[in-house]
Amino acid sequence: MQAYLLIRAYAVRDVYSELEKSKGVIECHTLTGAFDLIARIEADDIGGLSAIKQAIAKLPRIKRIDVLTVTDIAK
């Protein structure tokens, strides 16, 4: 399963560096607009996605995380 995390952060570069090292994070990008970063995460099931999100939420300098769970993937 996959999900996208839309992240608001106090120190974008610091959070970006932590996300690069985080288990389950497939890719991460900095953004302009309403959110500072987007991260694509992957796990075997919804519980795994939740665990990854909770671990990221505990990082310092995180303001908010919205989760968008992928339901279908077109190729």
Q: Where are the domains of the chain?
A: 2-65
Note the Cα 1 to chain centre separation in Å: 14
> Which parts of 1-75 are beta strand (E)?
2-9, 25-30, 37-42, 62-69
Among residues 66, 58, 65, 61, the alpha carbon closest in space to that of 12 is found at 61
The domain made up of 2-65 is a member of CATH 3.30.70.920: yes
Report pLDDT digits (tens) over 5-53. 999 999 999 999 999 999 999 999 999 999 999 999 999 999 999 999 9
Strand order from edge to edge, sheet including 37-42: 25-30, 37-42, 2-9, 62-69
| Structure letter (DSSP) for residue 11 | S
pTM of the model: 0.93
In sequence order, what are the beta bridge partners of 8? 64
Residue range 52-72: average pLDDT? 95
